[in-house]
Amino acid sequence: MRILIVDDEPAMHDSYRQVFGASRKGGQGAALSAMAAELFGDEDGDAAAPPAEGDADFACTHASQGLDAVEEVRASLDSGDRFAVAFIDVRMPPGIDGKETARRIRAMDPDINIVIVTGYSDFSPIEISRAAGPADKIFYIAKPFQAEEVMQTARALTGRWKADHELRAARVALAEKIDLLEEQKLELAANESKAVHMANHDSLTDAPNRLAFTRALAEHVRDRETFAMVMMDLDRFKTVNDTFGHLAGDELIRMVCEILHAEMSDGGFMARLGGDEFAMLMKVSGEDEAVMRCERLIRACSTSFKVFGHSVQCGASVGVVVVEAGAEGDPVDVMRRSDLALNEAKRAGRGIVRVFDESMDESIRFRRLIESGLSQAIRNGELKLVFQPIVAREKLEVTGFEALLRWHSPEYGMISPGMFIPIAEESNLIHELGDWVIDEAVRVLQTWPGQYVSVNFSPRQFRRSNFVGHIVERVQHRGVSPQRFQIEITETAIFDDAERAADTLYRLRQMGFRIALDDFGTGYSSLYNIRKFALDSLKIDRSFVDGMGKERESAAIVHSIIHLGRALGLEVVAEGVETETQLQALRVAGCSHLQGYYLARPMPEEDALFLAKARYMIDDEADVEEEGEFEPRNGTYG
């Protein structure tokens, strides 16, 4: 540590040299160490002061006049090898006095500790402090001084100077980290905004998509005011694609979308569901007004469009269902009925409006048969679970399985869960069905060596009274640790009553259950929800995984979700991994867990047990080390 000594008397410089020189030789330093040991109560004398050889760190620079001292300080600042302490005499004729010397030094180096050493001063300490303060960086020693006093002062102030510099460096580093975190926060917010927009808007037209429309439809149903839901298809759109090409077809879709958007400018809602299919919501007084407005939509679209220099004649067919005020409605059923009316309009010759009536609903009878058959299926053993592995990134180790429900009806054959789950959701059958799934999943889980099972829960199940107690009873009663049972939910299940959902998830986590947020990025996803709800895992929706190789935005969103999950200490599971390219890209991005057909399709419990015992998705664990040389077991179960 550098010390500056400023005094016009050569004898004083000799005294300083004796003080600091004796400490290097051990004599004076040993005496000071003994004194410090007695003062601080350390019998060994080791902790009260640094070893004598540590004093050799003092590098003393001597100046006989104040101006010389000022130049030494300026040079130290230029070189970066700064002084920690300056011992300054007050009277130093014929040059500037100690007060002015201290003032100039302080102006150049605000961090230096100044010690005024004088037998008699023309200035009071207050005057000197005002000129060379602050008060906590200026000190006084009277002449003649004691060697111990000078040494102790040097030690204390150099130690303090070093600590101040380390603290300042730490603060700078912390400020840089905070700035970096703020940048990352802004980047995450921007990517979140892009993700929300992509999840809710059509990439071709930037109009709201099916997901956004479904949400708007649900809000209209809850409002219980009279409204009409309209579905529209363009007539003979395939001919446009076949004749002029898909680019022309896309351009026509954009033109029609602009027209529909203008028609809905009075408060209606319009979305593109996909292909040449559009859907609209409009507040109406009744069926007559709905038909009139739909006919106006058909007229607006039934015109000749100029597409890339070609004249293209367009037309449209419309199906509409009117939901009366106060009616008990289900959004899925409203959309289905509107679609049935659209199909009737197409069969009737196109270019017309058809309003839904019950005679169009041939599926109602089938739905009722499914509902009655489902209650029998649980008792007759027609249901079964299949299991799709969830594997860790590094060595493709199988850490868990997602349980998926299958129903093989003797009368109707294999029935898709997408058909019977919504029917069960509309009735109390969902609870009976859910209990069967829990019991069966736990039974199979008990045969595995250590993996967990992930079970999907519908919104209605999640809102069940005493949901936590019910789950705990069915899992723990069978002697299974809650840590091996993962509850998989979507944001839709928790959005209606976020406060209650947050409390429910917190209590489940307290009991030890794992919580996974499914289809992350497609619902009401936000950083707020992630912080609010107790989670263990985020599952990236397969649509983003599929788009990684096609759209830069999808890749950016996947990377952002992975970084977000890692920053929050959450597992991130990528669903829908169907190619080796996707697998490798996700592993490089740092995704902690993977799931998809490329690794393994859903399999019966016997194969799941075999894979659980094998633990790894590759035939030879050594293959993990060879980048790009993975051989998943999907051939065995595909």
Based on the fold, state whether residues 409 and 517 are members of the same structural domain.
yes
Statement to judge: residues 246 and 332 lie in one domain: yes
Identify whether the C-beta of residue 269 lies closer than 8 Å to the C-beta of residue 200.
no
pLDDT value of position 54: 38
Please report whether residue 633 resides in a domain. no
Q: Measuring CA to CA, which residue among 91, 88, 111 is closest to residue 1?
A: 111
Query: Hey, is 554 helix, strand or coil?
Result: helix
Q: pTM, whole model, 2 decimals?
A: 0.49
Examine the domain organization and report whether 123 and 12 are in the same domain: yes
DSSP E strands: which ranges in 359-497? Answer: 383-392, 398-409, 413-415, 452-456, 485-490
Q: pLDDT means per 10 residues in the chain (638 residues)? A: 93 90 53 48 43 59 94 94 93 89 93 87 78 84 87 92 91 91 88 87 92 92 91 89 89 94 89 94 94 94 90 92 85 91 86 89 74 86 95 94 94 87 84 94 96 93 89 90 94 75 91 90 60 86 84 86 90 94 92 95 96 83 44 47
Q: What is the pLDDT, as a whole number, of residue 46?
A: 43
Tokens of 123: 């200035």
- CB neighbourhood size of 242 (10 A): 11
594: in domain:
yes
- List, in sequence order, every residue forming a beta bridge with 321; answer none if it has no partner: 229
Residue 626 located in a structural domain = no
Of 592, 578, 602, 584, which Cα lies nearest the Cα of 399?
A: 592
329 with 398, same domain: the answer is no
Residue with tokens 């029917």: 423
> Based on the domain organization, do 520 and 601 belong to the same domain?
yes
Residue 176 lies in a domain: no
399 and 540 in a single domain? The answer is yes
**Residues facing residue 59 across a β-bridge:** 2
Residue 184 placed within a domain = no
CA distances (Å), origin 48, targets 38, 42, 51: 9, 6, 9
Tell me whether residue 568 is in a domain.
yes
Nearest residue to 560 via CA among 529, 532, 600, 591:
591
Instruction: Please report the pLDDT score of residue 121 as a whole number.
Output: 67
Do residues 222 and 246 both lie within one domain?
yes
Q: What is the CATH classification number for the domain harbouring 493?
A: 3.20.20.450
CATH code for position 97: 3.40.50.2300
Residues 546 and 406 in one domain: yes
**Per-residue model confidence as pLDDT tens digits over 136-147:** 888 888 888 888
Residue ending a domain, among 318, 343, 361, is 361
Same domain, 322 and 349: yes
Nearest to 1 by CA among 104, 76, 98: 76
CA 149/CA 19 separation, integer angstroms:
10
Domain end: 107, 141, 168, which one?
Answer: 168
Residues 451 and 397 grouped into a single domain? yes
Q: What angle do CA 605, 608, 613 make, to 5 degrees?
A: 130
Residues 340 and 370 occupy one common structural domain: no
Q: How far apart are CA 431 and CA 454, in angstroms?
A: 17
Rounded CA separation 504/498 (Å)? 10
pLDDT score of 53 = 38
| Count of domains for the chain | 3
Residue 47 is predicted with a pLDDT of 39
What would the two tokens of residue 97 be? 């006095």
What's 261's domain CATH number?
A: 3.30.70.270
Residue 537 near residue 571 (C-beta atoms within 8 A): yes
Q: Do 55 and 20 touch, CB atoms closer than 8 A? A: yes
**Whole-angstrom Cα distance, residue 427 to residue 357?**
23
The tokens describing 255, both together, are: 């033109």
d(C-alpha 184, C-alpha 166), whole Å: 27
The one-letter amino acid at 346: K
Strand partners for 320? 230, 355
What residues contact residue 419 under an 8 Å CB cut-off, 6+ apart? Answer: 370
Query: What pLDDT is attached to residue 49?
Result: 40
The pairing of beta strand 353-355 with beta strand 593-594: unpaired
Q: Are 413 and 614 in contact (CB under 8 A)?
A: no
Question: How many CB atoms lie under 10 A from the CB of residue 450?
Answer: 10
Say how far residue 521 (Cα) sits from the centre of its chain.
Answer: 10
Q: Is 257 inside any structural domain?
A: yes
Judge if 327 and 385 occupy the same domain.
Answer: no
Which of 108, 134, 168 finishes a domain? 168
User: Residue 23's pLDDT is what?
Assistant: 53
The tokens of 504 are what? 């429910």
**Residue 636, in any domain of the structure:** no
Candidates 94, 106, 83; CA nearest to 5 is 83
Q: What is the span of the domain harbouring residue 483?
A: 364-618
SS3 592: coil
The rounded distance, in Å, linking the Cα atoms of 571 and 592 is: 6
